[in-house]
Structures are given as C-alpha cells and as structure tokens.
Structure 1
Amino acid sequence: MRKMTEAAATLRPDLAVTCAAPELLAQAEELAVRLGLPLAEAGARHQLLLRCAPEGLELVKPDDPQLRGPLRVDFTAGAMDFRRKQPGKELLLRAVGCKIGRPLTVIDATGGLGRDSFLLAAAGCFVHVFEKEPVLAALLADGLERARQCPDTEAIAVRIRLTAGDALPFLREMRAQGQVVDAVYLDPMFPERRKSALVKKEAQLLQLLAQPSNPAAEKELLAAARAVSRRVAVKRPAKAPFLGEAAPSHSLSGATVRFDVHIAISGCF
C-alpha cells in the first residue's frame, strides 16, 4: 500500500474494532490500541468494522446488505487451498523464476492479503512480505498465524516473514549494504474506485482502504526493487501501462492480468 498524503487521509473510512463474543474482548482491546483505532461502542454505526471472531480476524461493512459477509485471510481452505496444490498453472511462479527444487528468496513489497506470497512459499520460496496498510497487515498476520497452526499449511507458512510497514526503506538499506535477493515481487494495483455489481465483495472492501495511485512513488519503488534483485516481477492489469513507465525484459500474459519481468544484466542492476 502507498504512503498516505494529508488529502488522502480524509478519504479513510470510519473504522472501529469490535468482537463477536465476550471472551474475545481483551483481544479486540489489544488490537485497537496497537492499530490506534477506537473500540466500537454499543449502538454506534461505523462504515467498517475490524472484528475479532472465533474463526479469525475479519473485516466487515455492516451498512451494506450486499457486503455484510466478512473478509478474512484464510490459506487453509477454499480457492487458496486449491491453487497451492496446482503450482504448474501459476504464471506468478514463472514470473519470479521459481523452479521445482530451486527455492528462491523473494521480497513481496506490496503484500496485500498475502495470496501471492503464500503461493510462492508453497512452491518452496522463502518470502519476506511487506504490507504498509495496518488493517491489511493485521488481517494477513492473523491468516498466517492460523496457517502455522494447521498441519497442511504449517510448513508453507513458516517460510513467510511478515513486516507491517513500508518496503522502500528496507530496499534502500539493502542497497546501501550491497545485499541482493533472487527476486522482488510488486503488485501495487487495487480495484478501480467505482460501484458495480460486477466488482466482488472483497474488491469493494479493499478499495475502501486503498489510496490513490502515486506514479512517482511507484517509479521509486520499482527502481529500488531493481537495485537489489536479480529479477523483478510486476503484476499489472492486462491492459495497464508499464509500472513507472519502465519497459520490462518480457511479459507473461493471462486473461485479466499480466506479469512484467525485469531481469538484471549479469545478475545485478
């Protein structure tokens, strides 16, 4: 997620922390303090609620009948579980240069809900994922913790290190120390800010947290990533322009997205 400007801050949704059961109140109180968010009071109305529930941490939009179902990070079941078991169909793995039996060290600088990081780890990669939006980082941390407690996903989840913060200072420090990783992965896109029945519930919730695109910041992030990796893979909408106006070495295209790949000359930029 991108750094908020003062103008963007006014666009942030009205968000509070709550719990689904009395025994989770202490957890909700700790989370509210950690994120600097208010606790939801009885009878108060909020645009978004970050709710501690027995199933895990979840984001809900209570004032919209079509969006009342929770958004929760879950790597142990459903579509995510299906995808991790079929790595050969993932363009992402080709984009970062992942091959069976050759684990890579990858930095995911724009983690979001962590699905791509989890697919990379499922293929054997060691992933350091960054997410600077505190709410998304909290959801991702909760999902990873539950994945570590599940026998089917424990070995994958332990290969993922999460940092709740901006990747850019970390990449700059890596460059200053002459450090290089196998690949950096960037997925800075968020859904368009539009109302449509065709936009999924998850996308509508995410776009409430998303900040406006900042081309200068995106260009800076790409340059920093290229400076410390042998390969940078950038996920883009299929018809979107190149990130930072930088032409890639090549692209891998799917039906709705493509991966622009920047490969270092002689192993390092």
Structure 2
Amino acid sequence: MTFPMNQPTDPDSKDTEHLPPVGCSEEGLSEQAKALATRLGAPWLGVVSPRHIDDCPAILWLDDNGLCLQATGRKAPGPVRAEFVAGKAGYRLAHGGGTGQLIARAVGLKRTHQTLHILDATAGLGQDAFVLAGLGHRVTMLERSPVIHALLEDGLARAAGDETTAPVVARMALIHADSISWLQQRAGQEPVADVIHLDPMFPHRDKSAAVKKEMQLFRPIVGDDPDAADLLAAALDCARYRVVVKRSRRAPAIPGPAPALKLDGKSSRYDVYPLRALPSD
C-alpha cells in the first residue's frame, strides 16, 4: 500500500516554506532518499550524520526507522516522525478512551452511531486523524506543507505494513493541497465532509512555556497560519454537520463567528461550530 505525494491541487498554493536538505543514514537508502529530494526540489546531501552538520538547523533524514525531520548538531534532540505503530499513537489505539476522548466528543461521536466522513484540513503528523480513523470513521487529510506531507506519507506507508494499524490507515486518505483553496473550489456544492477538523498553527507568544519538540522544528519551516480566519470561513461553507477547531487552552478563538461550544482539556480545547444536528441513527 503506498501513499504517493500528489502535487498541490491549487496552482495558487500558499506554500512558500523553506525546504530543508535531504540525506540518509546508509548507501542502501540513497536511491529512495534522493528520489524524495528530487520530488521536493530540496538539496541532496547523500549519506550523512545529522550530528556532524552545522550549516543548517534541520534535515529530512531517512534511516531504517523511516523518514524524519532531524535537528542537526551534537546536542540536537531526537527525530520527529509521523508515527502510528508505536509511541503515543499506538498506545492510544490500544488503550484510548474511545468516544470519551476530547476530540471524539468535539466531533460529536457520542451523538451518532453512523460512520462519518471527517475532513482533517490541517493534517500535520496525522495524530488526530488516526484517533478518529481508529474509532471507525473515514478521514480525508489535507496538508499543504511538502515537508510535513512527506513525513506523513512515510508514516502511513509504514503503518500500512503493520497488521494492527493497517485497517486503521486504510480509512485514511492523504491529499497534498492548500486547504483554503481546496475548500473554496468546492463551496456551494455538496458538503465535502460531515465534519471538518481544523488545527491551525498560531503564534507562540509565551516564551516561558515548554514548546514541543516537533513545533520547535516545524515553526521555522512552515511558520504560523495567519489565514486561519479564511480557513474557518471556508470550512463552515463546506461541512455538513459541524466544524471543530483545536486550540491551545489559552489561545483566543479564531476571528469570525463565535463557537457555540467549548470543550476544555488539560492543555488544549475544542471550539465547536455546529451547522445542523448529527444523525441519531
């Protein structure tokens, strides 16, 4: 099972990120890694050790464990991958709280027994999408960053080869596209999904707060999402039942209509924008 990297579906894609160079850990992986560099249009480093690189902050690096975004230098933290088989995602699949999880409650999974089509318009590393697919729902993921998309397609491909996670990722479809343009092209037609999930990157202003390792690496590459208000408006035009927005617990709501419901967790919350009642049967 493969997850090919599609070209952005919108010629006016807002993707202007800086592409990190690509390298690999051994000669046997060179052909695959070099093909990725060519596909992305990123510099190719060949066989390298990230610990010995000091002229760029991070690289896309392929080793026996898959593709990762790896900070460089001798004291750099470990790699960031889209991981579904092991780690937090694997644990949540085996021991998660079912429809009692915060994201499941926000989507409304306790209110319906029907299988929903959920659009995750800011896929990131796919953790939220994986939770929803693990609960039996069909999830389409949009990701406009070619770097994050490459990590995500690699993680999905590895998960497709594991007997536990293969049935889950079979319910997940990945599209490389700018979400705003993709949604705006479909506005006024049939709803593109039952529920649309948004988790836009917002400016991190609390310098004293601990920032997750992946955010430290991603932010210089992909930046913030100053167009979050446009994304919310486009999602509200295209969802059938509701739009849910994941935010840091103390972050302001996205400018626009006020959410009808807020669900608070320990570090994050969901702003819920219902459009019509979910089906009860």
The ranges of structure 1 where at least 4 consecutive aligned residues each deviate by more than 6 angstroms after the TM superposition are 193-197
Q: 2:195 aligns with which of 169, 179, 183?
A: 183
Aligned pair count reads: 257
Q: TM-score, normalised by structure 2?
A: 0.83
What is the CA–CA distance in structure 1 between the aligned matches of 2:210 and 2:23, rounded to whole Å?
29
Q: Is the 8 A contact 1:108 1:127 kept in 2?
A: yes
Partner of residue 124, structure 1: 136
| Secondary structure at 1:174 match in 2 | coil
What is the CA–CA distance in structure 2 between the aligned matches of 1:106 and 1:94, rounded to whole Å?
14
What is the CA–CA distance in structure 2 between the aligned matches of 1:223 and 1:4, rounded to whole Å?
19
Partner of residue 65, structure 1: 75
In structure 2, do the counterparts of structure 1 residues 218 and 175 end up closer, same or farther at CA, with 3 Å as the change threshold?
Answer: same
In structure 2, do the counterparts of structure 1 residues 243 and 148 end up closer, same or farther at CA, with 3 Å as the change threshold?
Answer: same
Q: 1:39 aligns with which of 34, 37, 44?
A: 44
Q: Is the 8 A contact 1:105 1:127 kept in 2?
A: yes
Ranges in structure 1 where 5+ consecutive residues have no aligned partner: none
- Within the alignment, does 1:20 sit opposite 2:25 as a pair? yes
| Secondary structure at 1:15 match in 2 | coil
Q: Is the 8 A contact 2:15 2:145 kept in 1?
A: no
Q: 1:106 aligns with which of 106, 110, 118?
A: 118
What is the CA–CA distance in structure 2 between the aligned matches of 1:253 and 1:179, rounded to whole Å?
28
What is the CA–CA distance in structure 1 between the aligned matches of 2:192 and 2:60, rounded to whole Å?
37
- Within the alignment, does 1:221 sit opposite 2:224 as a pair? no
Partner of residue 243, structure 2: 232
In structure 2, do the counterparts of structure 1 residues 199 and 146 end up closer, same or farther at CA, with 3 Å as the change threshold?
Answer: same
Q: Is the 8 A contact 2:188 2:238 kept in 1?
A: no
Summarize deviations over 1:38-93 as a string: whole Å, max 9, x none: 101668632211011111001111126142x1111110112111112312441101
| Secondary structure at 1:182 match in 2 | strand
Ranges in structure 2 where 5+ consecutive residues have no aligned partner: 1-12
Q: How does 1:185-264 map to 2 (within 5 A)?
A: 185-189=197-201, 192=204, 198-214=210-226, 217-229=227-239, 230-264=241-275
In structure 2, do the counterparts of structure 1 residues 182 and 92 end up closer, same or farther at CA, with 3 Å as the change threshold?
Answer: same
Calculate the aligned-residue CA RMSD, in Å.
2.4
What is the CA–CA distance in structure 1 between the aligned matches of 2:91 and 2:267, rounded to whole Å?
20
Equivalent residue letter for 1:166: D
Partner of residue 92, structure 1: 103
Summarize deviations over 1:114-164 as a string: whole Å, max 9, x none: 100100100111111011111000000000011111000000001000011
| Secondary structure at 1:243 match in 2 | coil
Equivalent residue letter for 1:135: V
Q: TM-score, normalised by structure 1?
A: 0.87
Query: Which gives a bigger RCO, structure 1 or 2 (Cα 8 Å, sep 6+)?
Result: 2
- Within the alignment, does 1:48 sit opposite 2:58 as a pair? yes
What is the CA–CA distance in structure 2 between the aligned matches of 1:252 and 1:132, rounded to whole Å?
27
What is the CA–CA distance in structure 1 between the aligned matches of 2:207 and 2:30, rounded to whole Å?
34
Q: How does 1:131-210 map to 2 (within 5 A)?
A: 131-189=143-201, 192=204, 198-210=210-222
What is the CA–CA distance in structure 2 between the aligned matches of 1:103 and 1:266, rounded to whole Å?
15
